[in-house]
Amino acid sequence: EASSSRKFSSLTFIGSRPFRPSSYSTTFAMASNDVSKPKIITGDFGYVLEDVPHFTDYIPDLSTYSNPLQDNPAFCVVKQYFVHVDDSVPQKVYFDSDEVHACIVTCGGLCPGLNTVIREIVYSLYHMYGVTTVLGIDGGYRGFYARNTIALTPKVVNDIHKRGGTILGTSRGGHDTSKIVDSIQDRGINQVYIIGGDGTQKGASVIFEEIRRRGLKVVVAGIPKTIDNDIPVIDKSFGFDTAVEEAQRAINAAHVEAESVENGIGLVKLMGRYSGFIAMYATLASRDVDCCLIPESPFYLDGKGGLFEYIEKQLKENGHMVIVIAEGAGQELLSESMQSRNQQDASGNKLLQDVGLWISQGIKDYFSRQKTMAINLKYIDPTYMIRAVPSNASDNVYSTLLAQSAVHGAMAGYTGFTSGLVNGRQTYIPFYRIIEKQNKVVITDRMWARLLSSTNQPSFMSDKDVIEDKTECISGEKKEEDPATQFLDNG
């Protein structure tokens, strides 16, 4: 089985329960098919624990793909394999089910779907691989060394997907790498499932490196959690659909309030510290929004073509207006004195000023200066309501796929990867690809143009900005033409 032949050899299961699905398909982002060095194999696109017999027969396949949700083409190694499992032949995975001691930890902010991921990891380990030792780490990374663990069984997690939040608790800060790896070693844990955002994946990567340095046979598998959709490479993050859906409720309330009074302005602040995806998609979905402001699109307040002038025009024409602002929008405009505080949270993230309160005050001050009309402004910040809801049907299904895929990868002996959907396929993505940059709305792309056309708001961009932004895109990643546009352009 360790031969270098390029045919795919079967997975063989060593444990007491056969790996059952009659056909199992997944996509692997792979490193190397070098069979001569069966240590942990590193390369451009992945890592595996040593002696994984079937790994040696994978052939890396370089291909480009475009990311349909984000109009964000990226580059990755993907190869799809369909493994047909014959029930009469015992199949092999890297771990014997009795030897697996798995643990799950959730870190960072809340996001719909966390409990679904926890449930499905436990269920997959128990029911597909016969693993019965799964521990929950209480309260994020610091729980590894500062708290007790929680025993997770199918019974314990059976209906947790109906609840928001995470049954394990979460935290920021407290990432003490050597204490965490000491705890993993002391407890005899050999599969670590880490659910969290960009910071958490960076933490997972550091843990993985330390485990590698100590030569431990411990899988570190990440499941990306980011309500803002700011993790790169993957098509989208779980919880995003739910967040957009919930955001629309807030937008609807703002619209009702604004419409009911004279010169009503409904202002909704949505999540998005650095990436305005939730604001953009909620605006596109709702169609009640007259202006959407996101971190990627600079805007200005006073003067011709500025935000205040646009608000005044809208109120004169329609008598009301709805504004959506992402929490990271316009931070550069906030007063110098506020920024100079430069406060950080426990994880080292910069604490942003409340842009919603700031812009509300700015709008009120403008109209009291102008004395042209009396306005009625209602400000809604639904952030914590959105984060805390259970996930919707589509996110529940997506969370299940991510969790099951992570378990399959770990049981097959992969490590140092994040489970993610790429171009509609389940993939294992090395940590470094996930943490090297943030996913952002590209404002010269079609989706932002669609939004501008839908709201009819000004772009707040000069020609110079457009040229600079395009240059950035070109120097960053190759952009693909929108097929719809190509069709139109071709007549």
Tokens of 201: 């994946």
Q: Does 197 bind Mg ion (CB under 5 A)?
A: yes
Gyration radius from the chain CA atoms: 25
197 is in an annotated binding site: yes
Q: Which of residues 180-199 bind ligand ATP (CB under 6 A)?
A: 196-199
Q: Which of residues 119-158 bind ligand ATP (CB under 6 A)?
A: 140-141
Residue with tokens 């394999």: 81
- Which residue among 119, 161, 175, 378 contacts ligand ATP (CB under 6 A)? 175
Q: Does 200 bind ligand ATP (CB under 6 A)?
A: yes
**Alpha carbon distance 338, 343 (integer Å):** 10
280 is in an annotated binding site: no
Beta-carbon count within 10 A of 358 CB: 17
- For residue 214, what are the contacts with CB-CB under 8 A and spacing of at least 6? 181, 185
Q: Which is nearer to Mg ion, 109 or 409 (CB)?
A: 109
43 is in an annotated binding site: no
Q: Is there a contact between 308 and 136 (Cβ–Cβ < 8 Å)?
A: no
Q: Does 199 bind Mg ion (CB under 5 A)?
A: yes
Q: Is there a contact between 170 and 140 (Cβ–Cβ < 8 Å)?
A: yes
Phi first, then psi: give them for residue 324, nearest 5 degrees: -110, 130
- Which residue among 120, 138, 198, 241 contacts Mg ion (CB under 5 A)? 198
**Alpha carbon distance 110, 491 (integer Å):** 47
Dihedral angle, C-alpha 23, 396, 192, 148, nearest 10 °: -140
Taking alpha carbons only, the member of 170, 148, 163 closest to residue 115 is 163
Q: Is there a contact between 281 and 245 (Cβ–Cβ < 8 Å)?
A: no
Residue 196 interacts with which of ligand ATP, Mg ion, none, CB < 5 to 8 Å by class: ligand ATP
Residue 202 interacts with which of Mg ion, ligand ATP, none, CB < 5 to 8 Å by class: ligand ATP
Q: Which is nearer to ligand ATP, 196 or 413 (CB)?
A: 196
Active-site pick, 228, 230, 288, 290: 228
Q: Does 173 bind ligand ATP (CB under 6 A)?
A: yes
Q: Which is nearer to ligand ATP, 172 or 236 (CB)?
A: 172
If binding means CB under 5 A, how many residues of this protein chain bind Mg ion?
A: 3
Q: Which is nearer to ligand ATP, 17 or 202 (CB)?
A: 202
- Which residue among 54, 161, 172, 212 contacts ligand ATP (CB under 6 A)? 172
228 labelled catalytic? yes
Q: Which is nearer to ligand ATP, 328 or 413 (CB)?
A: 328
DSSP assignment string, 15-47: SSS----SEEEEEE-------S--SSB--SS-E
User: Nearest approach, Cβ of 395 to ligand ATP (angstroms)?
Assistant: 15
Taking alpha carbons only, the member of 170, 137, 130 closest to residue 154 is 130
Q: Work out the angle at residue 219's Cα, subtended by the Cα atoms of residues 213 and 225, and round it to the nearest 5 degrees.
A: 110
Taking alpha carbons only, the member of 430, 422, 431, 395 closest to residue 26 is 422
| Residues 100-119 as x/- pattern, contact with ligand ATP by CB under 6 A | -------xxx----------
Q: Is there a contact between 188 and 101 (Cβ–Cβ < 8 Å)?
A: yes
| Residues 221-260 as x/- pattern, contact with ligand ATP by CB under 6 A | -----x----------------------------------
Tokens of 429: 């993505």
Residue 53 interacts with which of ligand ATP, Mg ion, none, CB < 5 to 8 Å by class: none
Q: Which is nearer to ligand ATP, 165 or 196 (CB)?
A: 196
Q: Is there a contact between 134 and 192 (Cβ–Cβ < 8 Å)?
A: no
Q: Which of residues 348-387 bind ligand ATP (CB under 6 A)?
A: 349
Strands (E), 68-203: 74-77, 79-84, 102-106, 134-137, 149-151, 191-196
Q: Is there a contact between 190 and 218 (Cβ–Cβ < 8 Å)?
A: yes
User: Nearest approach, Cβ of 194 to ligand ATP (angstroms)?
Assistant: 9
- Which residue among 83, 146, 206, 401 contacts ligand ATP (CB under 6 A)? 206
273 is in an annotated binding site: yes
Q: Which is nearer to ligand ATP, 119 or 225 (CB)?
A: 225
Instruction: Specify the 3-state DSSP secondary structure of 377.
Output: strand
Residue 248 interacts with which of Mg ion, ligand ATP, none, CB < 5 to 8 Å by class: none
Residue 239 interacts with which of Mg ion, ligand ATP, none, CB < 5 to 8 Å by class: none
- Residues serving a catalytic function are 228
Residue ranges that bind ligand ATP, judged by CB under 6 A: 107-109, 140-141, 172-175, 196-200, 202-203, 206, 226, 347, 349
The binding site consists of: 109, 172-173, 197-200, 226-228, 271-273, 327, 384-387
The binding site for Mg(2+) consists of: 198
